[in-house]
Structure 1
């Protein structure tokens, strides 16, 4: 409740008006059995009207007067119910919107390390289904709680004024229902959580399959993916069906207890009517009130079950909102970035067992190109991730003489352009994908960047040219086309002072590779460039080349010096020369 109350702040007046509306609607509802009792006992029968004598004086012994009063009260009850629904829905929708915005903002600033440990489908589940669960609870159950309390209290008071003995008989099953609801609430929470997690796994598998549809088709893995989906789908069905069975047992049992309570009131009340201790109108009203009395008790069970699901959803939402985020520290600055880079005895480990980078040292001056070569898993990509402050490190990394840890993350990342081997493209037009990193771009900027990335002529052959929608993640493009559009997207922003190509020229032929590098050299003379590649021809013109092996720099120098030196670089060079 403490977590839930946090989200209700600012909507106190709205919920107060909603509860007031439901209270007025309940008053109208509770008045109907009294009017029915009056009609049976005083209009049809001869029992004195008592407190309702004013109705007798106004309408005489006319049933139509009672009918019209009930119709008018039902009309007002409908109006108040509408207001209750409108106000509670208004608050719930706004709260859900705020939660989604908080989650999305949190995800944007969550540390990169935490992102790598989260499943995409599960994150989507928390931002959609879990938020929807909270929205439904706030929009329906919170206001219904006020209705339940009000109806319980006032129904018992009204019944007590009619007949205390029968009222006590009417309450026999209430403690049992309360106890049963409490037991149900405590037992059902684990099942709710399992069902939620199973749905998250289902979403993850579906999302991965849709994202990797090209790989699935290329390797003929359709049947495997169907079996994989069937497995998580069966698990989801099993867990959810168990939840439904548990809910069915609860509702069936509570219905049985309700019918038993109605039976007790009917039997005891009928005996009292026979003995002349109770009027028929009072018994009729009691039977109606018992149903009204037991409805909130049963509804309390439903509220508790919904509260159980909402608690699980809130915990999952809070788990994301409590994740560590990247925050600027007071000592962090936004210095002018020119592109001078210095690594001094830098080490890094994803866990305590094995270092990915060990004692890395090198320097790159403004405008120079650094080539990075190494086998898979040698730490090449990790090295450039450290330069973007995606992870903390040991040792010293300086940019233009400033320790990297003292530069604001957002500032240094705006100055660094990173092109990945598998770039992420959006389901937008080619023009929008290239210009997405620059707020106010001109068509000339788009064309110039595309020409530098050697993709301009290809784009002109597309059906709609630069207005061609390329599909989610660029599914309609070849690997080389995706890489070149990603390069154009990166170099269009003139604020970039450092460019990193993380094996992002691997999908283009050597001739295109050469054209791109020459165009980039002419366009970005004062920009520091880091190129990670397995193709030595791509690295050959670099001012300096470092060779990584098992997280260490094992060789350093120019292309000419390294091909004369025995080591990994020369072995790869010889192999690639033999393949030509």
Structure 2
């Protein structure tokens, strides 16, 4: 699927949150405040160390510690309410979609239900709704939050030292490239998992509904073997997906941490040269 289509799908999912404007203001307003607090805490640490410890001012150091504790408390409260609001809105989206799916299935013709397997319908109704719920809840929020945090840190570092800002931004193109590769690897696997789960659900549904027929023709062993084979196929796809995730998740962390290494290396050198505190 083309990337433009992916962005259109992402935007379409985000539009499901439109009826919850008040909650969205709270969610993304708290996100901005959380990022501000995360930027303020290192500045408070710097103030406490430079003016309190090196300046031998215990009163100022105590105030710095108090402000840091207060900022941490505020951040914790904001994170809590952000989680509650995002989960509430995403669950509301899932509730709405389930109702829409049921209504749509009721409007479809008999020929559709004759041709479409019930297991596939159940799989899509469950898996797709759950993924949209996750996407409209934490996924989009974390995506915007991460981008905002990187931008905020870059601005602060540009004010402090432009070289430090360039060092931390040096890893961003590699992160984006690796994330793009990861997305291209994981997307077809996710589709395969969903399709295979639909096959499993269909087989199970047919056997439960036609249990008497299966028993009357002594087909239990055949149906069990068929289900075991389909289950093995699902397991292999799921294992491959887990391997892709296990490879890419730490690799993304390593690339991101290179920025921290560069900051400590160059920033530490600036401190030893009395050019930075």
Alignment-derived partner of residue 39 in structure 1 = 48
Deviation at 1:210, TM superposition (A): 2.0
Question: Is residue 2:148 matched to residue 1:150?
Answer: yes
1:87-110, Cα deviation, whole Å (9 max, x unpaired): 222221111111111110111121
Number of the residue aligned with 1:249 = 247
Residues 1:23 and 2:21 are matched in the alignment = no
Unaligned runs of 5+ in 1: 48-55, 280-580
Which of 4, 11, 17 is 1:8 aligned to?
Answer: 17
- How has the CA–CA distance of structure 1 residues 271 and 5 changed in structure 2, closer, same or farther, with 3 Å as cutoff? closer
Q: How does 1:165-184 map to 2 (within 5 A)?
A: 165-184=163-182
2: CA distance, partners of 1:130 / 1:28: 35
Match of 1:82 in 2: 80
Cα drift, residue 220 of structure 1 = 3.0
Task: Between the two structures, name the one with larger relative contact order (CA 8 Å, sep ≥ 6).
Answer: 2
Higher strand proportion (structure 1 or 2): 1
Q: CA deviation at 1:76?
A: 1.6
1:95 partnered with 2:104: no
Cα distance, 1:85 vs. partner? 1.6
Contact 2:16 / 2:93 at 8 angstroms: preserved in 1?
yes
Q: Is the 8 A contact 1:121 1:205 kept in 2?
A: yes
Whole-angstrom CA distance in 1 between matches of 2:40 and 2:174: 28
Following the alignment from structure 1 to structure 2, what is the Cα–Cα distance between the partners of residues 77 and 3?
31
Aligned residue in 1 for 2:121: 123
Instruction: Tell me the equivalent position of 1:536.
Output: none
Q: Which structure shows the higher helix fraction? A: 2
CA distance in structure 1 between the partners assigned to 2:170 and 2:14 by the alignment: 34
Give the C-alpha shift of residue 62 in structure 1.
4.1
TM-score normalised to structure 2 length = 0.89
Alignment size in residue pairs: 268
1:73 has 2:82 as partner: no
Which residue is equivalent to 2:131? 133
Deviation readout 1:39-65 (Å, 9 max, x if unpaired): 222211139xxxxxxxx8xxx644332
Match among 157, 160, 164 for residue 159 of structure 1: 157
Alignment of 1:81-480 (within 5 A): 81-279=79-277
Structure of greater Rg: 1
1:75 and 1:111 mapped to 2: Cα distance? 56
* Distance in 2 (alpha carbons) for counterparts of 1:109 and 1:90: 29
SS in 1 for 2:276: coil
Paired with 2:192 and 2:98, the residues of 1 have a C-alpha distance of 23
Distance 2:269 2:76 in 1: 37
- Distance across 2 between alignment mates of 1:96 and 1:274: 55
Distance 1:162 1:100 in 2: 51
Cα distance, 1:259–1:5 mapped onto 2, change above 3 Å: closer
Q: CA deviation at 1:170?
A: 1.9
Distance 1:255-1:146 versus aligned 2 partners, 3 A rule: closer
Q: Is the 8 A contact 2:51 2:60 kept in 1?
A: no
SS at match of 1:106: helix
TM-superposition CA deviations, 1:483-536 (whole Å, max 9, x none): xxxxxxxxxxxxxxxxxxxxxxxxxxxxxxxxxxxxxxxxxxxxxxxxxxxxxx
The root-mean-square deviation of aligned C-alpha atoms, in Å, is: 2.0
Contact map agreement 2:119 2:202 (CA 8 A) in 1: yes
Superposition deviation, residue 266 in structure 1: 2.2
- Output the CA distance in 2 between the equivalents of 1:101 and 1:41: 59
CA contact (8 A) 2:51 2:61 kept: no
Distance in 1 (CA, whole Å) between partners of 2:55 and 2:68 is: 21
1:572 aligned residue:
none
How far apart, CA to CA, are the structure 1 residues paired with 2:165 and 2:224? 60
Residue 7 of structure 1: CA displacement? 2.0
Q: Give the SS at the match of 1:10.
A: helix
Contact 1:15/1:143 (8 A) holds in 2: no
